[in-house]
Amino acid sequence: MSLLVTGIGELTTWEPDRDVRHDAALVVDDGVVAWLGDAADAPAADERLDVAGAAVLPGFVDAHTHLVFAGDRVAEFEARMSGAEYAAGGIRTTVAATRAAGDEVLEAGVVRLLREMRRSGTTTVEIKSGYGLSVADEERSLRIARRHTAETTFLGAHVVPEGARVEDYVALVTGEMLEACVPHARWIDVFCEEGAFGADEARAVLSAGAARGLVPRVHANQLGHGPGVQVACEVGAAAADHCTFLTDADVDALASSGVVAGLLPGAEFSTRHPYPDARRLLDAGVTVALATDCNPGTSYTSSMAFCLALAVREMGMTAREAVRAATQGGARSLRRTDVGHLGVGARADLVVLEAPTAAHLAYRPGVDLVRQVIAQPPGR
């Protein structure tokens, strides 16, 4: 069954020769974009949807989330808003709650957050483990996540559990835990930060994952200057996420290696830390992705539009750059060519706005501008 979407006031496609079209239309057939062009030239289709001048853009690609958890950390948030500093150790609070929860509780939480994301225009989502930190709990977290997305990330190396020695825990992560989690994961990640894992531990974790076919990603340079970005570039990671505290050498390494810089402004909003300098990265030729970092401790938002508005207001991005980072940038972070754009042959994941341009997502922050989401099943 084919569908003609016509009357599009502004169509964002990210085609190389013409990334934005006006007075446009596109045809969806068998789950992909089969045709796009001027509305006046549109072919016939089985069904017709006239969006009456609205903007249409690719579905958001959220390449960094932590959706498998139980409980919340609202008390921690309130303490930070009263002046307390954020430290990585707060993760252990969520670990305790997650370990105590049943599978049905964890799955219900994932489903609830994914519904929020879909309503707000997100059509592709990556989900990490990392709140289990035991073989059984990391495996079940990924098993649950894999029922909802192909983009699952083993993050056993989130923090060292209470009472464990770093070297012993790294041995567990790279051994028994990895073996249990490989069947449910595409990616492997590590929190390379003071208070979590150093460069040598991060390399060991990522190398072990790569040897089992998992592609590296890195939590890097969130809390201060550190080795995370350099490690990501050394191992050929798909992305280095956070990238808040960067040296010139870090920026040069990202630009020359092609590692995507994932920027997560929801975390800076919630922790009152400095925002990443997106302008510096873009001017250096680094590919930038925006993501929510949805998690109960430091970025409890499922809204890519909110993060997009923060990026424009606080990080030096134009509205179009932020929209690109939230769609095509996220796709590149996940090494996907079928999503994040609306060229012919792309997955027909598209968002119709209650607005004439995509720039309204930043211009009208906090307003639900998503009129309709047309998306394919996650496993398609």
Percent of the chain with pLDDT over 90: 93
Angstrom distance (rounded) from CA 286 to CA 309: 20
Q: What is the pLDDT of residue 89?
A: 58
Count of domains forming the chain: 2
Angstrom distance (rounded) from CA 188 to CA 130: 11
357 and 211 in a common domain: no
140 and 65 in a common domain: yes
Do 219 and 192 touch, CB atoms closer than 8 A?
A: yes
Asked whether residue 280 is domain-assigned, the answer is yes
68 and 53 in a common domain: no
* 76: confidence class by pLDDT, cuts 50, 70, 90: confident
Q: Which of 71-85, 107-121, 301-315 has the lowest mean pLDDT?
A: 71-85
pLDDT above 50 (res 155): yes
Domain at 21, CATH number: 2.30.40.10
Do 84 and 75 touch, CB atoms closer than 8 A?
A: no
367 and 230 in a common domain: no
Do 221 and 245 touch, CB atoms closer than 8 A?
A: yes
Q: What is the pLDDT of residue 250?
A: 98
357 and 326 in a common domain: no
Domain at 101, CATH number: 3.20.20.140
pLDDT above 50 (res 379): no
Q: What is the pLDDT of residue 88?
A: 55
Q: Which of 91-100, 277-286, 325-334 has the lowest mean pLDDT?
A: 91-100
Mean of the per-residue pLDDT values of the chain: 96
111 and 26 in a common domain: no
64 and 43 in a common domain: no
133 and 44 in a common domain: no
Q: What is the pLDDT of residue 377?
A: 77
181 and 82 in a common domain: yes
Angle formed at CA 97 by CA 91 and CA 98, multiple of 5 degrees: 85
User: What digits encode the pLDDT tens for the residues 42-75?
Assistant: 999 999 999 999 999 999 999 999 999 999 999 8
Enter the pTM of the model: 0.97
Expressed as residue numbers, the domain containing 77 is 60-333
Q: What is the pLDDT of residue 376?
A: 82
| Mean pLDDT to the nearest integer, 156-175 | 96
347 and 259 in a common domain: no
159 and 32 in a common domain: no
Angstrom distance (rounded) from CA 156 to CA 139: 9
User: What digits encode the pLDDT tens for the residues 181-233?
Assistant: 999 999 999 999 998 999 999 999 999 999 999 999 999 999 999 999 999 99
Percent of the chain with pLDDT over 70: 98
